[in-house]
Chains A and B, each alone.
Chain A
Amino acid sequence: MKKLLLSLTTLFLMSCGGGTETETSSELLSGDVKIDGSSTVYPITEAIAEEFRAVQPNVKVTVGVSGTGGGFKKFSRGETSISNASRPIKDSEATACNENNISYVGLSVAYDGLAVLVNPENTWVDYFTVEELEKIWNPEAQGKIMYWNQIREEWPNEELRLFGPGTASGTYDYFAEAICGKKVGTRGDYTASEDDHVLVQGIAGDKYGLGFFGLAYYEENKDKLKLVGVDNGNGSVSPSMETVSNGTYAPLSRPIFIYANNTAKDRKEVKEFVEFYLNNAGALVEDVGYIPLQPKEYEIEKAKFKSFITK
């Protein structure tokens, strides 16, 4: 009897779930979904918004690029429903949300890998250990670690020339924290550019160059650069779809997020957009050069969102 009851309840719950799902996807919604935040996450959200239009042509989805911090500022004032973020929300930003009675949920939507690169003519580098990267990039190294053979003795006695994103970018923050530790920063005597194309040209044109930037830029410039694996103590791992996604390429891979606020609870178009996001991100993030989460991780994010809106 108990068993029967249980299966009946399950059946009931299942039909319920199925029912709401068909209902939401067939119903034509209107209204708007305002999104702002990180330019790193932007290409993914743009791709999702583009596809969402095919399903819900009357919902006006708009996406801005104020940066993660700028996006959270608007988010905490209730000016946007969803915020793109290339890092988790900071305490100060969370406090601002609380003060304005805005509750929210953070959802990972993809991984972004940082690639360490050298010139293709560089024959001596096989991999870097995390300690070696730290030795090269930490602020103390400025003006001191200037030659390749200072990193490893058998490497040539040639000048080391460094390239990386500027300090204003989230990519820089991430690299600095992962390699040199929290709030330490890096050395300043490297060629910095906010335009990753410039970094690609720099390393591609300098036999003794070394630099880092987002994996997507390497994918587009494979013929001009040599990717270097990173050894975090468990052997050298090269960044790839697989190693970033399963977490073995550490510490230079990070999840990127969207944050949805409580309007998702009472506005169907916001709720449906977030659900559409999590259902389709797996297929779309690769299109724009990022790395999807594992399918079961998307399920976890979906469950997180579900419990947020029913709370």
Chain B
Amino acid sequence: MTNSTKNRIKDRIFNFIGIFATLIGIIILGFFIGSILYDGLTRIDWDFLNSLPSRKAEKAGILTAWSGSLWIVIFTFLVVVPLGIAAGIYLEEYGDKSKLSSLLEVNISNLAGVPSVIYGLLGLEIFVRLMNLGSSILAGSFTLALLVLPIIIVATREALKAVPPSIRAASYGLGATKWQTVWYQILPAAGGGILTGVILAISRAVGETAPLIVIGALAYVPFTPSSPMDEFTVLPIQIFNWISRPQHEFTINAAAAIIILLIITFIMNGIAVYFRNKWQKKINW
């Protein structure tokens, strides 16, 4: 056997392993989605979306849960996006390479690995008690914003880094200030990458349960929120609650609620992807 046929065989083997690794994730995901759809799809109707929780599985609905999730996601988005992008710009463009900024960098990467329950405890002390927000939508959004902040910061920095240095040089060469360079050249060019980070962050936030339970998000709320200071529940809490019931009918409800949660995530991601594509088309150097 010559060296080249050996290498060719190795290549084939690696190709095979690669396909296997890719398929395993997709097949498992497909299986999950399939079984959820099979269990829950027929349960979804207008009443299910529009009813309050109930002890009778067939009467129970997710009105308060999905509206709570929507409020939480919107406020988390409003808080975390400006903060995260601003921090990313500072660290990448303005921050000098001092000890302080490298300390900040290490800490931000570490923050991304802190278990979400810990953020819940932090939120409980700071937002719920110290700032006296109570177990409100605002307190929940702030907590989740902290939780997903590192994702956006890291994504922003990576996106800024990927902008070719020649663009910066050209902009400075024409006499632009740093801020003008960032605002008119670099940020638009990095927009796609930043939005990818935002998608990841918001998808993570919409599925979180543990930190919200810790700050006191409820399981039974018989009214939809009307202000950011209202108490709330979210879809993942409702799903968890139903899954842990002994009656089989509640499991079906949980499957149906999971489908709704997936749809909400897909819609939000769809919006972000739409904007990302639109954005990227505008850029032509």
Contacts and interface: CB of A to CB of B under 8 A. Distances in A.
Given A62-B221, A62-B231, A219-B246, A74 B216 contact: yes
A216 interface: yes
Interface stretch (A44-52, A139-147, A155-163): A44-52
A288 B55 contact: yes
A64 B55 contact: no
Contact of B55 (A43, A217, A219): A43
A51 to B, nearest CB: 9
B244 A289 contact: no
B219 A42 contact: yes
Main secondary structure of the interface of B (DSSP, over half): loop
Contact of A64 (B216, B222, B223, B243): B216
B15 interface: no
Interface residues of B, number: 26
Interface in B46-89: 52-56
Contacts of B237: 65
The CB with the most chain B CB atoms within 10 A, among A42, A53, A65, A214, is that of A65
Interface of A: 36, 39, 42-43, 45-47, 49-50, 53, 60-66, 74, 79, 195-197, 214, 216-217, 219-221, 284, 287-289
A132 to B, nearest CB: 26
Contacts of A284: 55
A216 B246 contact: yes
A46 B55 contact: yes
Main secondary structure of the interface of A (DSSP, over half): helix
27 contacts: A36-B216, A39-B241, A42-B241, A43-B55, A46-B55, A46-B219, A50-B53, A50-B54, A53-B222, A62-B218, A62-B220, A62-B222, A63-B219, A64-B218, A64-B219, A65-B213, A65-B219, A66-B213, A66-B214, A74-B216, A196-B244, A196-B246, A197-B243, A217-B246, A284-B55, A287-B55, A287-B56
A214 B219 CA distance: 21
Contact of A289 (B135, B216, B231, B247): B247
B12 interface: no
B245 interface: yes
A216 to B, nearest CB: 5
B159 interface: no
A49 B54 CA distance: 9
Interface string B228-243: 0001000001000101
A50 B247 CA distance: 18
A63 B246 contact: no
Given A62-B222, A65-B213, A287-B56, 6 more contacts: A61-B222, A62-B218, A64-B216, A65-B219, A66-B214, A220-B246
By Cβ-Cβ distance, the 3 closest A-B pairs, closest first, are A63-B220, A47-B55, A220-B246
Given A46-B53, A49-B222, A288-B55, A64 B217 contact: yes
